[in-house]
């Protein structure tokens, strides 16, 4: 089984951004950010890069993929 994990919440908190703030920056709904942070949704490549840019981190720092 494979899974995608994210450090979005950690990086978002470091920048004092709410889920709503980040959602507005990357032009998605707050619920999308919630689902991403809980691992219930895998972002498109475009969204992954947009979030990484908004949080000023590299995509591979933000998301990691494990193949168990």
Q: How far is CA 54 from the centre of its chain?
A: 10
Please tell me the predicted confidence (pLDDT) of residue 68. 66
Residue 23 included in any domain: yes
Domain annotation covers residue 27: yes
Q: Where are the alpha helices (DSSP H) in the chain?
A: 8-14, 19-26, 30-37, 45-55, 59-62
Which positions of the chain have pLDDT values less than 50? none
Residue 47 lies in a domain: yes
- What's the confidence (pLDDT) of residue 34? 96
- What domain range is 19 assigned to? 2-63
Query: The domain that contains 39 carries what CATH number?
Result: 1.10.260.40
Report the pLDDT value the prediction gives residue 1, as an integer from 0 to 100: 59
Q: Within a domain: residue 28?
A: yes
The answer to whether residues 31 and 37 touch, using CB atoms and an 8 Å cutoff, is no
Domains held by the chain: number: 1
Backbone phi, psi, residue 18, to 5°: -85, 170
Residue 68 lies in a domain: no
* CA separation for the pair 63, 68 (Å, rounded): 16
């Amino acid at each position: 089984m494979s899974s995608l994990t994210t450090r979005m919440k950690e990086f978002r908190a470091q920048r004092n951004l709410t889920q709503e703030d980040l959602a507005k920056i990357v032009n998605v709904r707050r619920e999308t950010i919630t689902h991403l942070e809980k691992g219930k949704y895998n972002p498109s490549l475009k969204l992954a890069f947009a979030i990484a840019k908004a949080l000023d981190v590299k995509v591979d720092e933000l998301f990691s993929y494990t193949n168990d």
